[in-house]
Structure 1
């Protein structure tokens, strides 16, 4: 199919820069968001505002949602003025949110009943990846549909991978969030140990970042952490939600998750101490609360 117009529902911290990159790639964009300001900013770049998910769906060849959680996606799809009420035969719906794999499979069935096709395509890379178009996109759904929208995905991401049938993208994202959350937790403990042991934190990062401990959390977040910079690239509250999805999937599939369960509780503590809007690397603050000391450098 020829894709000319892409509909975006959800133009927040991730969705807005993704939509901008799609505009830059030469697609027409129609957009809707619960709060109007991000849509107005996109309109200044050439996007067409829409008043509802159904209006977006009627105007677009491919509909994309980038929403916070399962409840939001379900509401947008099944609501009174939602996507299902406007889907056309052969149309493609792509959910790029991170939601429950089981809920994804149910929504895909609803979409199929309308004669359309759904892909689940959650993303990783944070706000930085959304801005510079370097996201990792993990896709579940029919191979021929994936092939039809690969060019669109490449306007938003650097690594685009079909991981299996419906729901496989969400399972892959759960695995991703387990690893990233455990990285942040391990880095937090390591930095605090180094601080309490009297080591130079910047030198510690130089020493371990090039060895076996090298990881994204050390490279992209630890230099900010030791300066107390928790400006969000990805909210801790979102990571907490993602880890709930992962642990719930573990219960469903019978997968033992001892480390993930501990990290889930740490992000719960972020939420309960009003730090949910901090970057997910800010989980170090929970460890610091327990220790009564901060892993910071003096500047």
Structure 2
């Protein structure tokens, strides 16, 4: 995700210095006209705005607080933008620590998958100081089409958790409906076409259902990532005393995907778990 975002920043006229744990993305960034650095600290020393895109909370903590991490290179007046999806509680703590150094942090998790990152059409949910976001608006506009200020530090992560709660509910609901339709003997494509235009209409029906009934679960967003994001949501729900009965169920279904070596399938592949429970597959013959 980070590499196409960096390329879009280059295309928008920004100077980009990047660091990645594996060499291939760095080589591709250099081929596109960017520069690279050996450590996160070295990136921070050469830039005014640092943007990270990492898989989980632990990775962000290591990149920021670890040896040769961002804390060793950030200085007063800089801005740190974290586009990872991580714990809102950890984000609030990190923003508070950076504030003592005179560094502003914007938590800015993204939605839209790799396709959105490549096209520069991501939806970006931002927490932090609105004035800092306004000062960085050009950077955000290069990466996404929809940039929304959601509130103070941590609010971006909270909004992303809300997004993933709804995405998972859609995926599970559509999967359950399609397996039900299969068992009832209905025409699956006709079911998809019919309900997409009514009150049930949603992103999953429009963009994934036709693939699902053809057994196409090539990843746009890994099920492993959906599982991780739901863990973040349920942990935050516990911390904030917010009941999450549906999200807890979805979490268990995605856990089953991970346990059955389906974690690298698309998150719409949760239908395969419903199919295992039903003892049938919801597929069309072509």
TM-score by length of 2: 0.98
Alignment of 1:170-249 (within 5 A): 170-249=157-236
Partner residue, 1:83: 70
| Deviating 4+ runs (over 2 angstroms) | none
Partner residue, 1:9: none
2:266 is the counterpart of 1:295: no
Alignment of 1:39-54 (within 5 A): 39-54=26-41
2:27 partner SS: helix
Tell me, in whole angstroms, the C-alpha distance in 1 between the residues paired with 2:83 and 2:31: 24
Post-superposition offset of 1:43: 1.1
Partner residue, 2:262: 275
Post-superposition offset of 1:195: 1.4
Alignment of 1:59-74 (within 5 A): 59-74=46-61
Tell me, in whole angstroms, the C-alpha distance in 1 between the residues paired with 2:208 and 2:194: 16
Among residues 146, 150, 156, which one is paired with 1:159 in the alignment? 146
Tell me, in whole angstroms, the C-alpha distance in 1 between the residues paired with 2:182 and 2:3: 38
Tell me, in whole angstroms, the C-alpha distance in 1 between the residues paired with 2:32 and 2:137: 24
Tell me, in whole angstroms, the C-alpha distance in 1 between the residues paired with 2:117 and 2:216: 20
Post-superposition offset of 1:178: 0.1
Post-superposition offset of 1:222: 1.1
TM-score by length of 1: 0.94
2:216 partner SS: coil
Instruction: Provide Cα deviations, 1:242-271, integer angstroms capped at 9, x if missing partner.
Output: 111111111111111111110010011111
Partner residue, 1:6: none
Instruction: Provide Cα deviations, 1:41-84, integer angstroms capped at 9, x if missing partner.
Output: 12111011211111111111110010000000000000110000
Post-superposition offset of 1:235: 0.9
Partner residue, 2:22: 35
Partner residue, 1:99: 86
Task: Extract unaligned runs of 5+ from structure 2.
Answer: none
Instruction: Provide Cα deviations, 1:57-112, integer angstroms capped at 9, x if missing partner.
Output: 11111100100000000000001100001001100000000000110011112211
2:215 partner SS: coil
